Amino acid sequence: MYKLNFDTTEFLATQWQKKPMVLRQAFTDFVDPISADELAGLAMEEELASRVVLTQDEGKNWQVIQGPFEDYEQYGEDHWQLLVQAVNHWCPETQPLVEAFRFLPDWRFDDLMVSFATPEGGVGPHIDNYDVFIIQGEGRRRWRVGDLGEYRPRDGNPETPLIDDFEPIIDTILETGDILYIPPGFPHCGVTLTPAMSYSIGMRAPSQQELFSQVADYLLDNNQGQQRFESTSELVSPATISADQQHGIMALLTQLANNPAQYQTMLGLMLSQNRFDLDICEPDTPYTLEELHQELAGGTSLVRIGGLKVLQLESDQQQRLFVNGQIFELAATDADTISMLSNLTCLDNTQVMQLLAQPEVAQLLVDWVNAGFYYLFD
Ligand code: SIN
Ligand code: CO
């Protein structure tokens, strides 16, 4: 089990989305949930997004090679780092580490990126637009974090995600079990001292661009949002769009944004989707309710696949759950059961049996297992 050693309430009040900080020994006796060899193996699979970054020109330049990889021998003993996204989707052993960060809501959680770095390896100075907790596993790495500010792309190259060197406000060495928290916008750069495993928990929120594109898709898909601007008076200067009309036209958007019936479904659908592929594990033949009941009666648990988001909305006007961009209506189910279904990533056999006794929920579990969202675990 991975249990955080710091006061998360205080962290949320003083640091979260505000200030970077080092959380020394945030995990005591930290044990890597995955080995470097296992990570190297995952990066050989096409389904996973992986990259190797080579440090060149004495730490002044970096080259990125996209995976999947066949072997790593050519990269040698130092000056490189392997990074693999969404490892939590493919390696259930990493799930307990992710669970430690559920003091933040599931909708924000992006993925667990795991990296293996050799001495002098790193990705170079850059800025992320999400919050990240960098957990140091085996090995040691030096991290520098700068303040918020305007930073130029490295060497004036508009194509690069890297920035010029910056003045650090944190300059520290992370040891096994330490965490570095970095809010969006703070420049940072890690350099490896001894062969190291790092775990990045990324937390993201939608941008206006993403929201607008989602709203547009949702309205088009559902043939909604047909209302047009109407006015009772017109300004007489023929070439001018009056201030009233500007407000009135834009009010069509705020109307959508102020109406829960319009935005709740859209937000649930949007925020329950994952940016990275899931390891959907559909059974070879779909279960009937009776078959699933029989299978589970022997003491089996139901486990949610890594990364699947099962969300509910506070003050929702309907009883439902949003799962991976789909809606599951639960009109006849009580609120406690709905919360249990969304909050628990693993349903033990007692809970499963209790849920199967409710016909609407029993059918939901069959649908979820047949969709590959949950799997049976003895
Ligand atoms: C790294 O582990 O070097 C990359 C993580 C990050 O900078 O966000
Ligand atoms: Co970063």
**Distance from Cα 188 to the centre of ligand 2, integer Å:** 6
CA of 373 to the centre of ligand 2 (A): 30
- Residue 122 Cβ inside 6 Å of ligand 1? The answer reads yes
Give 182 Cα–ligand 1 centroid separation in angstroms: 10
Centroid of ligand 2 to alpha carbon of 232 (angstroms): 53
In angstroms, rounded to a whole number, what is the distance separating the alpha carbons of residues 343 and 129? 27
Question: In this structure, which residue's CA is closest to atom 5 in ligand 1?
Answer: 200
* Strands, sheet with 346-347, edge to edge from the N-terminal-most edge strand: 346-347, 301-304, 374-377
Q: Which residue among 134, 141, 182 is best mutated to probe the pocket of ligand 1, counting the most ligand atoms within 8 A of its Cβ?
A: 134
Cα dihedral sign, 36-41-44-47? negative
Q: Which ligand ends up closest to the CA of 137?
A: 1
Cβ–ligand 1 distance for 198 under 6 Å, the answer yes
pLDDT attached to residue 250: 96
| Among the bound ligands, the one closest to the CA of 110 | 1
Cα–Cα dist 203/132, whole Å: 6
Domains of the chain: 8-203 (2.60.120.650), 213-231+240-267 (no CATH), 289-377 (3.40.366.30)
According to DSSP, the residues that pair with 198 across neighbouring strands are 115, 136
pLDDT, one tens digit for every residue, the chain (378 residues): 899 999 999 999 999 999 999 999 999 999 999 999 999 999 999 999 999 999 999 889 999 999 999 999 999 999 999 999 999 999 999 999 999 999 999 999 999 999 999 999 999 999 999 999 999 999 999 999 999 999 999 989 988 999 999 999 999 999 999 999 999 999 999 999 999 999 999 999 999 999 999 999 999 999 999 999 999 888 879 999 999 999 999 999 999 889 998 899 999 999 999 999 999 989 999 999 999 999 999 899 999 999 999 999 999 989 999 999 999 999 999 999 999 999 999 999 999 999 999 999 999 999 999 999 999 999
**What does R_g of the chain's alpha carbons equal in angstroms?**
24
Residue ranges near ligand 2 (ion) with Cβ within 5 Å? 128
